[in-house]
Amino acid sequence: MSISARAPSLAAALFAAAACAFTASPARAAAICGNGTYAYAGFDGRSASDGVSATISQSGALDVRDGHVAGWIGVVDENTGNSWLQVGLSALPDATTSGIYYEVAAPGNGAVYHQLQAGVTPGVAHRFAVLELKNRPNWWRVWVDGRPVTAPLHLRNSHDRWIPQVLGESWTGTSTGLCNRYAYAFADVSLLTADRRPAGASVTAVQNLSYAIVHLSQTSFVATSTGKSATS
């Protein structure tokens, strides 16, 4: 299962240096939900980073009618849109809980999805990070709750090029006219340098129609469905 087909960047926001504060502008809306549609709510980076981290939890009931939903952080090759590394929570149709997963799409290869844990209780938070290794350009690891869960992963030409992302995501599979519902809370979001210091950078706010960002603090937000479809 590919969790991450890339969508175009949308309106402007700011990730303030050191504090990593969000200030989102209204995002352009697109026709969302329907056959094979991806939709997002969260933030795309606008410049390269050595990593990104966040604490993520499922904060509401799921209604995954088709496809999947997810709340994740990661890095992506914005130039091609077909290479990325991400980690977070995801859920399939009829699920009431999310599972912990990571997914890697190395340059020249298709996406490979790995489930790390099933049945994460709503409200239970886990700390996730995707980090480039210090003094090893183009090599990355995925971390969960402060521990590495992958071997070093070689992502060719990613150093100083791939952008960070912090997103809630829905894919509607093969059904027409359906919007999946979810709410994922993101706390203590931070962009990172290779030695894990906070690094400020600008980001783009993504709020596709039927999905929204609800701010909780300068570094925390909820990515959630709105309950309104593209045709309502």
How far apart (Å, rounded) are the C-alpha atoms in residues 104 and 113?
Answer: 7
Q: Indicate the helix (H) or strand (E) that contains 175.
A: none
- Please state, in angstroms and rounded to a whole number, the distance separating the CA atoms of residues 27 and 100: 29
pTM score = 0.84
The pLDDT tens digits of the residues spanning 82-125 come to 899 999 999 999 999 999 999 999 998 889 999 999 999 999 99
Where exactly are the structural domains of the chain? 38-225
DSSP 8-state symbol, 27: P
CA distances from 29 to 8, 64, 87, 222 (A): 11, 22, 26, 18
> Which string of DSSP letters, residue by residue, matches 99-127?
EEEEEEE-TTS--EEEEEEEEEPTT--EE
Residue 206: φ, ψ to 5°: -115, 120
Which pLDDT value is given to residue 231? 44
pLDDT in tens, 134-147: 889 999 999 999 99
List of the chain residues with pLDDT < 50 = 1-31, 230-232
Specify the DSSP class assigned to residue 47: S
Check: CB of residue 227 under 8 Å from CB of residue 181.
Answer: yes
Tell which phi-psi region holds residue 13, choosing left (phi > 0), alpha (psi between -120 and 50) or beta. beta
Under a CB-based contact definition with an 8 Å cutoff, are residues 111 and 123 in contact? Answer: no
CATH T-level assignment (fold) for domain 38-225: Jelly Rolls (2.60.120)
